[in-house]
Structure 1
Amino acid sequence: MKSLKALFAGLALSALAVPALLAGTAAAADYKAEYKLSTVLGKPFPWGVGGDRWAELIKEKTQGRIVVKMYPGTSLVNGDQTKEFTALRQGTIDMAIGSTINWSPQVKELNLFSLPFLMPDHKALDALTQGEVGKKLFDLLSTKDVVPLAWGENGFREISNSKHAIKAPEDLKGLKIRVVGSPLYLDTFTALGANPTQMSWADAQPALSTGAVDGQENPLTIFVAAKLATLGQKHLTLWGYVADPLVFVVSKEVWNSWSKEDQEAVRAAAVQAAAEEVALSRKGITADDDSLLKSIADQGVDVVRLTADQQKAFQAATKPVFDKWTKQIGPDLVKSAETAIAAGR
């Protein structure tokens, strides 16, 4: 009798388990076979390494339920970096590690990081991304059809050219400098007397090679990985005028299609990949380890480090741009950023 009761009890439990199992199978069936991750740069750039690592960690932490393929070169939007965020909101892209510069035309507050000479060093940058300012920006992004998960880093943008050393604002006069597609960058270089030329990174490299443009501004990791010393860029100035944080995000529609367990796995993967990517982007360019800078100089590049007084001259020349864009970004947000940076000094 007991065995019959046990049998019926087991059958009842099995009957209850079947719908749950089917529901789980249905949920898994709703997942895409592959999710598209957009980045501007692939490996060996830290940006691309970070994207590859995020995809790897997601597969590992979800036990293969979520498979991600990285599409570097913003190839999902035909290489137009400024269209990436819009494509993410429209569903053409599932996930991205995006540049605050490239997304700033759609999210004006992200121009904060491009205010000339706001952040003097990595400590100041961390005070923003890892503090209340970073949280405010993530809250803002969360209202725009994406789920931000972690801050990565493309780095401080240093300037190089093929003509001569840049030590003062007047040294930029007339130089044709490739810049990203942001009005703030056009304003900044125009204020310095340069001739800013907007173009994608894919177009910039051949333009530097042929001399169609004289110079460019980018993080040192890009200078090395893209072998810009071989493209005539023999004069490099470390001025740290702006930094370019990266944002690990998932389309909100895609995010909502995942289970809570997988959402947290993807978030944990983003945080880990971002931390590794930031460390890689700073490798060889710090006071404790300047090996990357030495390797650049060894390639015959004249490396100029601005003194505090020299940097002040550039700050003064771009102050009108800073003030103009503070109004557009939001005076309160800029004030919060300045306060956070000062508190960390």
Structure 2
Amino acid sequence: MKRRTALAYLAATAVVSPMVHAQPSEIRPRIIRFGYGLNENSNQGRAVKVFAQEVERLSGGKMRVRAIGAAALGTDIQMQQALIGGAQEMMVGSTATLVGITKEMALWDTPFLFNSSAEADAVLDGPVGRKVADKLQDKGLVGLVYWENGFRQLTNNKHPITRLEDFQGIKLRVMQNNIFIDSFKSLGVNAIPLPFSELFTALETRAVDGQENPYNTILSSKFHEVQKYLTITNHVYSPWIVLASKKWWDTLNAAERKVLLDAAVKSRDFERKDTREEAARALAELKAKGMQVNELSPAEANRMREKLTAVHASIADQVGRDLWNELQAELAKIRNRS
């Protein structure tokens, strides 16, 4: 009798206890792997952190960004392919490395295209910038917003660049992008395409003599430790672009997409302000750390422009004359307003 009572009790508790002790299951947040090339303490790293915080805030914790910097997920090109294949969700990287995927991205590689950051903002955030970014969707990528990398400057270990002839024979690392390669070859440079992740070692071992990047990147990447001369050229305005995998983007609902777009705009505004403030500090710090800095004279800059005329024409042919003319019309409108 006692045994039957005990069995009955066990049977009852087996049914009842799950109801008594059950806890509401927690909804796991959607984890977004966001890759970038620079280190966590760079302007890029700080802006990714702002994006991550904003995504978590706007989604009420339902979406969380796992930021992975220092090229730990690969080079820009490798991450782009991971996004296209759906193996990674998001990244930020150079528009220059996208030219092989979407030819219209070559617009932003045009030497001496913008006279100021304000002009760049107006074009990149305007109809031309949006049109170019939207071209990525056919290739498996979604362009959200453009960030600022900044005007690019030259560094090298051989001698100061004060005139066009000083470029002759310098082994210069350039991005893996035909326009950059052609532009520097036309100036007499031995242009060597290398991924950014390999650049410091190449400079340190003298596999290349120099490189070109904005002040912020030169400082945060410690290129001053392996480079002696810095020449202010402002030869190209270099944007970054925040990208999402289209395969992944298509799985999101409208509310989730809005969270990401709103957070991207917030991070863009922060990043541009932060980058511009840092650029002035970075130049002063590079001088203090011993780099010899000189500015290319307007006359020599004009000589460079003349050498690059053919590059402009080739870019116009590559992206299409209609888009090129639309860009030039937009720039003319902006300059007339200022």
TM-score by length of 2: 0.86
Structure 2 gaps, min length 5: 1-24
Bigger Rg, which one: 2
Which residue number in structure 2 is paired with residue 312 of structure 1?
A: 302
Whether 1:238 and 2:228 are equivalent positions in the alignment is: no
Percent of aligned positions with the same letter in both sequences? 28
Which residue number in structure 1 is paired with residue 22 of structure 2?
A: none
How far did residue 188 of structure 1 move?
1.0
Select which of 133, 136, 141 maps to 2:131. 136
Task: Give the letter for the 1:165 counterpart.
Answer: P
Which residue number in structure 1 is paired with residue 208 of structure 2?
A: 213
Which residue number in structure 1 is paired with residue 177 of structure 2?
A: 182
Select which of 55, 61, 64 maps to 1:64. 61
SS at match of 2:159: coil
Partners in 1 of 2:278 and 2:251 — Cα distance? Answer: 41
How far did residue 103 of structure 1 move?
1.4
SS at match of 2:191: strand
CA contact (8 A) 2:37 2:197 kept: no
Whether 1:273 and 2:263 are equivalent positions in the alignment is: no
Whether 1:158 and 2:153 are equivalent positions in the alignment is: yes
Partners in 1 of 2:230 and 2:80 — Cα distance? Answer: 31
Q: Deviations over 1:119-160 (max 9, x none)?
A: 222122113102221121132223333332222111111111
Q: Deviations over 1:223-273 (max 9, x none)?
A: 111222211x22111111112212222222322323322221121111101
Structure 1 gaps, min length 5: 1-24
Partners in 1 of 2:155 and 2:173 — Cα distance? Answer: 10
Which residue number in structure 1 is paired with residue 107 of structure 2?
A: 112
SS at match of 1:283: helix
CA contact (8 A) 2:242 2:264 kept: yes
Which residue number in structure 1 is paired with residue 122 of structure 2?
A: 127
Partners in 2 of 1:61 and 1:243 — Cα distance? Answer: 32
Partners in 1 of 2:155 and 2:134 — Cα distance? Answer: 36
Whether 1:292 and 2:289 are equivalent positions in the alignment is: no
CA contact (8 A) 1:121 1:240 kept: no
CA contact (8 A) 1:58 1:67 kept: yes
SS at match of 1:106: coil
Partners in 1 of 2:271 and 2:278 — Cα distance? Answer: 14
Select which of 245, 248, 258 maps to 2:242. 248
CA contact (8 A) 1:82 1:181 kept: no
Partners in 2 of 1:259 and 1:329 — Cα distance? Answer: 33
Task: Give the letter for the 1:248 counterpart.
Answer: V
Which residue number in structure 1 is paired with residue 14 of structure 2?
A: none
Task: Give the letter for the 2:43 counterpart.
Answer: P
**Deviates most, 186-195 or 205-214:** 205-214
Which residue number in structure 2 is paired with residue 326 of structure 1?
A: 316
Partners in 2 of 1:85 and 1:291 — Cα distance? Answer: 32
Q: Deviations over 1:178-214 (max 9, x none)?
A: 1111111111111111111111222110121122211
Whether 1:167 and 2:162 are equivalent positions in the alignment is: yes
Q: How many residues align?
A: 311
Task: Give the letter for the 2:158 counterpart.
Answer: K
- Structure 1 residues 71 and 276 mapped into 2: Cα distance closer, same or farther (>3 Å)? same
CA contact (8 A) 1:119 1:241 kept: no
Which residue number in structure 2 is paired with residue 336 of structure 1?
A: 326
SS at match of 1:142: helix
